[in-house]
Amino acid sequence: MTLVLWQRSYRHCDQFVRERGPSDHFTWTSEFGVMVFEWESPQRGAVQAGWSWFDTPLPRRFGQPNVLGFAVYRGTARHYILLPYAPLRGVSVPYWFFFVCTAALPWLWLKRWRRQRRAASRVSHGLCPRCGYDVRASADRCSECGLRLSSVIMAPQGEEQTAKTN
């Protein structure tokens, strides 16, 4: 999902706004490969009379990112309906950071699952679950890595059996 949002951020600008009170917003924006979180303070003042023409696109007010793409900033927001500037603060976080964070847990789970499958396969073939050394002739320890084998007995049919301790 993170990769889909990351890729989409270069073609579309997604913005979610949650009002916490009158003219008090929390905004989450996804564009240009970054996620931006902004907290806007309540505005002071009323709508100004008159018309205005803005001949430029909406300005990006995100702070200058560091080498890794992160930015923390303070600024102002101008709403284009003649409201006074509203103070805001924000944080921009690159998508690669979210990808690393969300991919780490599944990767660790997959690594653990593969390790467990490999150990179970080794035990079923009469091998040491840690190093893969043939331990069918050993009774107590693996002679290669020293793993204590008293918790697992190698069955001749390739089935794992739990040892009974007296």
CA distance 83 to 145: 73
Residue ranges in the chain whose pLDDT is less than 70: 21-23, 43-64, 78-84, 151-166
Whole-structure pTM value: 0.52
CA distance 136 to 123: 10
**pLDDT the model gives residue 162:** 47
CA distance 38 to 16: 11
**pLDDT the model gives residue 62:** 63
Look at residues 45, 84, 85 and name the one whose alpha carbon lies nearest to residue 61. 85
**pLDDT the model gives residue 121:** 92
3-state helix, strand, coil in the chain (%, to 5): 20, 30, 50
Structure tokens at 87: 């103070």
